[in-house]
């Protein structure tokens, strides 16, 4: 791939009206991260400077861009007069030295891969001044068509609204992404007019205008999945589906078993090591790392968590942010863990809430245990020592410490620290009345009989 520095111009000033949303279109998420972040992430993996073109007052979009690329340059496009006008809004960022690449990407086309960008740049190395990323969609409706001459040279791009019937039959379409290496991009774009069906300044006209000035244009053809555009919520879901499919395949290639991959949902930053086995219907929110050999049984929801080596999780377990499961930890059905570190081999197998604190290595948390971490104002910590045994249906009222190896009797409400090795019991003594049940039954049946009379 070309080592030359380049400038990415990411267009994000469109209205996105078809999303019917108060949120700007490019901030809608795919795999838990904004479309803008996907585009900036892909581009920044190849190196270069960044300019993002936003609509006036789109502070949230600018803030998202700065979060991802702190030295990004933000430009406002005063009026949405078309894609060429949008690129010109970033003119102050254009390289002043000749022959540097400018790559235009659309923020609503989030799935472009770095390899595809690299191919566009390589084709500029071959002497072309403009490289257009083309594709052959199943349904070309709505896309600009790429017009080639007899020698397969790109001569122009025709927007659908301006195309003749013959041109509409062309199946090679414009994805929107373009790369330029021309002596003066601003001058080239300034020659583009707006005499067309939409009355807009089309970036796509750079091909025909450039040709008149002796600039050669070329096409790089990619897969439809790489350039899916998002204009509606339905297309947002389609892009999500493509992203998920790609990422599941990547993990399976890297040695992860998924029994029903189409039911496993990943996030942009999910990390899963080799020999992990994942059963159906598992959802990974952002910030999850799964270490080697862990097993995630069906219907788990995992977010902001570390699942250590050899862990067995689920079925039906929920890990919330700050859950850190050490090696060989077992977390079973209907257990929720939030902001708790569990040491190696610790177990909580049934129906528990563990929130804020720590569980030492080898400790056993019985069924129905609750860490009572919240008093309506503050969150407090529960610390369970190594090898401790917490009996079923115990409430540990934080802040509280259970010493190493201690036992908690079932059903206890523990409000005070428990010393290492001790047994703590908090419940009334059991009473027994011999023969009581029989007497009770006789009394009750007599009463019932009397009522019937
Ligand atoms: C554009 C292409 C078309 C291509 C299609 C692929 C042009 C003229 N047409 O059409 O050939 O097949 O994408 O999806 O380029 N934007 C601005 N300011 C503007 C107008 C647009 O920033 O004034 C941004 C939008 O936010 C969006 C991108 O540019 O990210 C594309 O604009 P859009 O109006 O969606 O173009 P299409 O009609 O889809
Ligand atoms: Ca579009």
Measured CA to CA, the distance from residue 208 to residue 134 in angstroms comes to: 16
Query: What separation, in Å, do the N-terminal and C-terminal C-alpha atoms of the chain show?
Result: 98
Same-domain pairing of 116 and 130: yes
Q: Vertex 132, ends 126 and 133: CA angle to 5°?
A: 110
**Ranges of residues in the chain whose predicted pLDDT is under 70:** 1-3, 97-99
Is 211 among the domain residues? yes
Contact 52, 36 (CB under 8 A): yes
**38, 301, 330, 350: which one is catalytic?**
350
330 is catalytic: no
Same-domain pairing of 197 and 291: no
Contact 64, 37 (CB under 8 A): yes
End-of-domain residue from the set 194, 227, 260: 227
Contact 168, 117 (CB under 8 A): no
- Looking at residue 285, which CATH number applies to its domain? 2.160.10.10
Is 442 among the domain residues? no
For CA atoms 391, 393, 395, 396, give the dihedral sign.
Answer: positive
Q: Note the ligand closest to the C-alpha atom of 16.
A: 1
Give tens-digit pLDDT for 136-176. Answer: 999 999 999 999 998 889 999 999 999 999 999 999 999 99
Is 262 among the domain residues? yes
SS (H, E, C) 224-269: HHHHCCCCCHHHHHHHHHHHHHHHHHHHHHCCCEECCHHHEECCCC
Same-domain pairing of 199 and 268: no
Containing H/E element for 209? helix 206-212
Same-domain pairing of 282 and 205: no
Give Cβ neighbours of residue 446 (< 8 Å, ≥ 6 apart). Answer: none
Helices (H), 153-205: 165-168, 185-190
Give the residues across from 76 on adjacent strands.
54
Is 289 among the domain residues? yes
Q: Which atom of ligand 1 is nearest to the CA of 203?
A: 15
Same-domain pairing of 134 and 185: yes
Q: Which atom of ligand 1 is nearest to the CA of 79?
A: 23
Residue-range definition of the domain harbouring residue 286 = 233-424
Same-domain pairing of 99 and 216: yes
The pLDDT value recorded for residue 3 is 58
Same-domain pairing of 166 and 239: no
End-of-domain residue from the set 227, 247, 264: 227
Contact 147, 163 (CB under 8 A): no
Is 438 among the domain residues? no
CA distances from 92 to 10, 51, 82, 88, 290 (A): 14, 10, 18, 9, 45
Same-domain pairing of 13 and 156: yes
Same-domain pairing of 220 and 336: no
Give Cβ neighbours of residue 451 (< 8 Å, ≥ 6 apart). Answer: none
Ligand 1 centroid – CA 140 distance (Å): 15
Closest CA to 311 of 332, 321, 325, 298: 325
- Name the residue at shortest CA distance from atom 8 of ligand 1: 202
The pLDDT value recorded for residue 386 is 98
Ligand 1 centroid – CA 165 distance (Å): 22
Contact 315, 297 (CB under 8 A): yes
End-of-domain residue from the set 180, 196, 227: 227
Number of domains composing the chain: 2
Measured CA to CA, the distance from residue 210 to residue 68 in angstroms comes to: 33
Measured CA to CA, the distance from residue 340 to residue 399 in angstroms comes to: 14
Residues having CB closer than 6 A to ligand 1 are 11-14, 53, 77, 80-83, 85-86, 106-108, 143-144, 157, 159, 173-176, 202-204, 229
Is 386 among the domain residues? yes
Same-domain pairing of 327 and 194: no
Is 320 among the domain residues? yes
Give Cβ neighbours of residue 178 (< 8 Å, ≥ 6 apart). Answer: 103, 104, 130, 131, 132, 133, 203, 206
The pLDDT value recorded for residue 126 is 87
The pLDDT value recorded for residue 135 is 98
The pLDDT value recorded for residue 15 is 80
3-state helix, strand, coil in the chain (%, to 5): 25, 30, 45
Please report how many Cα atoms fall inside a 13 Å half-sphere around the Cα of residue 422, on the Cβ side: 12
- Looking at residue 211, which CATH number applies to its domain? 3.90.550.10
Most distant CA atoms of the chain, gap in Å:
111
Same-domain pairing of 220 and 246: no
Residue-wise DSSP of 92-159: GGS-SSTT-EEEEEETT-TT--HHHHHHHHHHHHTT-SEEEEEE--SS-TTSPEEEE-TT--EEEEE-
Ligand 1 centroid – CA 86 distance (Å): 9
Is 432 among the domain residues? no
CA distances from 189 to 24, 25, 162, 260, 381 (A): 27, 26, 19, 50, 62
CA dihedral 135, 139, 144, 149 (to 10 degrees): 60
Local structure of 205: helix, strand or coil? helix
Same-domain pairing of 398 and 293: yes
Closest CA to 230 of 49, 448, 12: 12
């Amino acid at each position: 791939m070309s080592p030359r520095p380049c400038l990415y111009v990411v267009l994000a000033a469109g209205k996105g009206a078809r999303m019917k949303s108060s949120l700007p279109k490019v901030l809608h998420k795919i795999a838990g991260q904004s479309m803008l972040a996907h585009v900036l992430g892909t581009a920044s993996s190849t190196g270069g400077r960044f300019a993002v073109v936003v609509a006036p007052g789109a502070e949230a979009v600018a803030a998202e861009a700065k979060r991802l690329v702190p030295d990004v340059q933000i430009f406002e496009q005063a009026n949405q007069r078309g894609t060429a006008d949008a690129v010109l809004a970033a003119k102050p960022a254009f390289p002043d030295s000749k022959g540097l690449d400018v790559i235009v990407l659309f923020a609503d086309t989030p799935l472009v891969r770095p390899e595809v960008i690299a191919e566009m740049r390589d084709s500029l190395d071959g002497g072309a001044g403009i490289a257009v990323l083309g594709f052959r969609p199943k349904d070309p409706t709505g896309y600009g068509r790429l017009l080639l001459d007899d020698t397969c040279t790109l001569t122009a791009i025709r927007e659908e609204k301006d195309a003749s019937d013959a041109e509409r039959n062309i199946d090679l379409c414009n994805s929107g992404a373009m790369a330029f290496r021309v002596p003066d991009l601003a001058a080239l774009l300034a020659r583009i007019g707006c005499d067309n069906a939409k009355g807009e300044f089309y970036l796509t006209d750079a091909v025909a205008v450039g040709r008149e000035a002796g600039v050669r244009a070329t096409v790089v053809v990619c897969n439809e999945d790489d350039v899916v555009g998002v204009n509606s919520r339905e297309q947002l879901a389609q892009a999500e589906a493509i992203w998920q499919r790609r990422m599941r395949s990547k993990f399976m290639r890297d040695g992860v078993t998924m029994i029903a991959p189409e039911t496993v949902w990943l996030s942009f930053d999910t990390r899963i090591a080799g020999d992990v086995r994942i059963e159906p219907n598992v959802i990974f929110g952002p910030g999850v790392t799964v270490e080697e050999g862990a097993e995630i049984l069906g219907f788990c929801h995992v977010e902001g968590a570390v699942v250590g080596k050899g862990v067995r999780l689920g079925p039906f377990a929920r890990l919330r942010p700050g859950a850190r499961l050490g090696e060989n930890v077992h977390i079973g059905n209907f257990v929720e863990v939030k902001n708790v570190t569990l040491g190696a081999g610790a177990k909580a197998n049934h129906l528990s809430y563990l929130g804020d604190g720590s569980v030492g290595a080898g400790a056993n948390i019985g069924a129905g245990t609750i860490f009572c971490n919240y008093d309506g104002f503050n969150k407090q910590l529960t610390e369970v020592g190594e090898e401790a045994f917490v009996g079923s249906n115990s409430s540990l009222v934080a802040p509280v410490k259970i010493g190493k190896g201690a036992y908690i009797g079932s059903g206890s409400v523990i409000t005070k620290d428990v010393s290492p090795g001790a047994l703590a019991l908090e419940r009334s003594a059991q009473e027994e009345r011999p023969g009581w049940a029989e007497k009770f039954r006789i009394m009750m049946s007599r009463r019932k009989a009397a009522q019937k009379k």
